[in-house]
Structure 1
Amino acid sequence: MSIALGMAKSTLHRSVKEGAIRAHSNVIKPEFTTENMKSRLRFCLSMIDPGTISTNPMFMYMYNHIHIDEKWFFMTKTSEKFYHLLEDIDPLHTCKSKKFITKIMFMAAVAHPRYGGSNNEEFSGKIGVFPFIYKEPAKKKSKNHEAGTL
């Protein structure tokens, strides 16, 4: 960075500490096309209660809708920081390839919570989080498992 800016490392370090140069991480965001915006607007308009359009347009109650979403997780990170005592053994952190870390997918389902007559919660709205996994028997014997084990 000092070469790119044409300044000494010490000057660069001082500039960062003084706040003249700051760090910034830039997250990529999806670019909305005109078609994306139109489809979102169509969805919002479809949620307006038809009986209220002529007087005072209101959105429909979504108490009877279940919201479902999926989420991908990596099984591990490429780099993890551990804090432990001096006499503890360092944990082993291995993977066949740093480029192809195993991912798992979960599906979550939630709904609107339900309350009874005296404001007691009858249903929390949490339906569940479900992993998308399957188990199948090993086809061949290897150093890690016998043939036929799940």
Structure 2
Amino acid sequence: MTNEEVHQLVCMISARDFQKTFRHEAFFNRRLKTTGGRYMLRTHNIELNYTMYELFGLDELIGIIKHELCHYHLHLEQKGYQHNDRDFKQLLAEVGAPRYCASIKHPAAKTLYKHHYVCNKCGQSYERKRRVNIMKYRCGKCSGQLLEK
């Protein structure tokens, strides 16, 4: 899907579900990583996460667009457009927009252990993110000396 197609989709959803026109720009921002989309207060543009579209498809993208259009229309009408405002929650319910988007699990978010230690006496294994001073610390099981593997 191109930026022109997503802009047409936003205009169509705004007219169909909100009965209002969308007069600004809507486009994909490929740098977005943790959010589905965002409404820019100064420019009134809507930026959408392309990865959300790739992973979850058109239905999830439509939900994100509805959510951002709630921010857009309420802000232009000078009503409560923030997540905790009553006007925002009401409009979300009226148009069937989700409050939160699906979660993207990044492979980098997994716990990566860089250091591996083994007890010299009993063979107990320890994995740590941070380095351990093996001259200062001992095995918790048998008090044996630790060796870095």
Same fold (TM over 0.5): no
User: TM-score range, shorter-chain basis?
Assistant: under 0.3
TM-score (norm 2): 0.22
Structure with the largest fraction of helix: 2
Structure 1 or 2: more strand by fraction: 1
Using the size of structure 1 for normalisation, the TM-score is: 0.22
Bigger CA radius of gyration: 1
